[in-house]
Amino acid sequence: MAYKKFKADRIFDGYRFLDESVVLITKEDGTIEEIIIATEAGDDIQKLPGILSPGLINCHCHLELSHLKGLIPEGTGLVTFLTQVMTQRAQSREVMMQAIEKAEDEMIANGIVAVGDICNTPMTLVQKSKGRLWYHNFIELAGAVPEVAEKRFKGGVELFSAFAQLYSIPIESISLVPHAPYSITDELLKKIVSFPGNHLLTIHNQESAAENEWSRHKTGDFVEFYKTMGVDVSHFISTGKSSLQSYLQNFLKNQSLILTHNVETSEDDLAFAKASGIPLTWCLCPGANRFISGQLPAVDRFMKNECVTVLGTDSLASNHHLSILAELQMIRDAYPAIAIDQLLLWATSNGAKALQMDKLLGSFETGKRPGVILFDHELSKLSRLL
């Protein structure tokens, strides 16, 4: 059997940097064989400048919105951005399919091997059937009034069934999930949480100050948003608490939950979340946050509180690239003290665990097929080796 042998200036195995004297050995198909000392690795070793790493994990994407690239201006704030997406997302099937394929090509070129993808429609089915990337498909539901809960839930189950055709064990790769606290009722959220087999969920969390203001006081930008959309929210009762502290108790302790964005998550919120006992992962999407609001999440706050952290790109409606490398660079620019191995941990093994794909991806362990990429020392560029 033929093998590939890689020796770089540094090897990051998904958890830490290894001793500089080791060699990574893979099979031709990328399956990890072993990591051994260079003196025992024999001949035909590829010696490479830079950092070897497992492939990258994009824990939050909206692939089906790829056709909106360049159509929505930056800096509008979340509520205006949401309105723009809702009014502009309808395009011809051909335009949308071409954009989806191009966006997936971009992710592959950027070293991404797996994606947590938000799905409101079946539009990405054809591209995903090609099997070029690993996906967990989050079938996203929204409904801000109780009367639509049953209809929206049934629609979600139907979309789940459409995606189920791609997988031998659908529940491992598909979930029903809520969009965001401000766009879902307790009735619909309870249906989602209790959906049989729903073990991995995600939700857009505290992406803007307006979300917390709506939750605490039923005031702010979302008042005008619902008025513009013609949605009667008279049933909604503010809680006097932050968004996170108002909805988190509706999830179960035997379900894993990825909280995405977290721009306005406070120290009190983090303490509340930790005390909940729910297995939580915090997904940061700095590129989208800067695009929409000009803000970044308080990355150092999540580190201080030892939060399990991962990264996402969000969509091309709210970002210039689908690149985890670009997200890493943005965090490095804002927080230069964060060590490279910490950033790579978030982008590899943490991401694989969050999407429950760590049996195959995220680290250089025997039998896994995580992909192999090569960074330069400053994380300014990468190339995909396997």
Task: Specify whether 249 is located in the same domain as 171.
Answer: yes
Name the residue range of residue 332's domain.
56-361
What is the pLDDT of the chain when averaged over all its residues? Answer: 97
Is 218 found in the same domain as 136?
Answer: yes
Residue-level pLDDT at 198 = 97
Q: Where are the alpha helices (DSSP H) in the chain?
A: 78-88, 93-109, 125-128, 149-164, 186-193, 209-217, 221-229, 243-247, 267-276, 286-293, 299-304, 324-334, 340-347, 349-354
Query: Are 46 and 60 in a shared domain?
Result: no
Residues 87 and 189 grouped into a single domain: yes
pLDDT at 68 over 90: yes
On whether the CB atoms of residues 204 and 177 are closer than 8 A, the answer is no
Query: pLDDT for 245-279, tens place per residue?
Result: 999 999 999 999 999 999 999 999 999 999 999 99
b/e map 212-229, b = 16+ CB within 10 Å: bbbbbeeebbbbebbeee
In this structure, the answer to whether residues 45 and 62 fall within a common structural domain is no
Q: What is the pLDDT of residue 225?
A: 93
Domain count within the chain:
2
Rounded to two decimals, what is the model's pTM?
Answer: 0.98
Residues 128 and 195 in one domain: yes
For residue 378, the domain's CATH number is: 2.30.40.10
| Pair (81, 5) in one structural domain | no
Cα–Cα distance for residue pair 205/239, rounded to 1 Å = 16
User: What is the reported pLDDT for 42?
Assistant: 92
Do 99 and 171 share a domain, yes or no?
yes
Per the CB < 8 A criterion, the answer to whether 59 and 18 are in contact is no
Helix, strand, or coil here: 369?
Answer: coil
pLDDT at 293 over 90: yes
Of the candidates 248, 299, 255, the residue with the CA atom closest to the CA atom of residue 269: 248
Count H helices and E strands in the chain, helices first: 14, 14
Give the pLDDT confidence score for residue 2 in this predicted structure.
Answer: 87
Question: Are 371 and 347 found together in one domain?
Answer: no
* pLDDT score of 114 more than 80: yes
Q: For tokens 């020796």, what's the residue?
A: 7
Q: Are residues 370 and 268 in the same domain?
A: no
What is the pLDDT averaged over residues 99-123? 99
Mind listing the pLDDT tens digit for each residue in 207-232?
A: 999 999 999 999 999 999 999 999 99
The reply to whether 352 and 225 lie within a common domain is: yes
Are residues 160 and 42 located together in one domain of the fold? Answer: no
Domain CATH number, residue 265:
3.20.20.140
- pLDDT (average), residues 358-375: 99
| pLDDT tens for each residue of 296-352 | 999 999 999 999 999 999 999 999 999 999 999 999 999 999 999 999 999 999 999
Whether the CB-CB separation of 60 and 260 falls below 8 Å is answered with yes
- pLDDT at residue 290 greater than cutoff 80: yes
pLDDT above 80 for 86: yes
